[in-house]
Amino acid sequence: MLHDPDPRWFPLINEFARDTPWLHPVMIGYAEYAIVVFAALLLAGWWIARRSGDLNVLAAAVWAPLGALVAVAINQPIVSAINGPRPYAVLPDILVLVQRGSDPSFPSDYAVLAGAIAAGLWLVSDRLGAVALLAAAMMAFAGVYIGADYPHDVLAGLAVGNAVGVIGLWATRPILVRLLRRAEQIRLLRRALTVHDTAELASR
Please write the tens of the pLDDT for every residue from 10-38.
899 999 999 999 999 999 999 989 999 99
pLDDT of residue 100: 83
200 pLDDT above the threshold of 80: no
pLDDT band (50, 70, 90) for residue 4 = low
180 pLDDT above the threshold of 90: no
Show the domain range for 164. Answer: 9-203
pLDDT band (50, 70, 90) for residue 99 = confident
The whole-number average pLDDT for the span 96-123 is 90
Half-sphere exposure of 87 (CA within 13 A, CB side): 29
Residue 139 lies in a domain: yes
Residue 148 lies in a domain: yes
- Top pLDDT among 93 and 53 is at 93
Identify the weakest region by mean pLDDT among 33-37, 56-60, 188-192.
Answer: 188-192
Residue 4 lies in a domain: no
pLDDT of residue 193: 55
Residue 92 lies in a domain: yes
Q: What is the mean pLDDT of the chain?
A: 85
Q: What percent of the chain has pLDDT over 70?
A: 86
Task: Give the C-alpha separation, 172 to 188, whole Å.
Answer: 24
Q: Which of the residue ranges 18-27, 102-111, 181-190 has the most confident prediction, judged by mean pLDDT?
A: 18-27
Half-sphere exposure of 128 (CA within 13 A, CB side): 25
pLDDT of residue 14: 92
Residue 184 lies in a domain: yes
The whole-number average pLDDT for the span 92-118 is 89
Residue 177 lies in a domain: yes
pLDDT of residue 42: 95
Residue 2 lies in a domain: no
- Top pLDDT among 52 and 156 is at 156
The whole-number average pLDDT for the span 163-190 is 80
Count of domains in the chain? 1
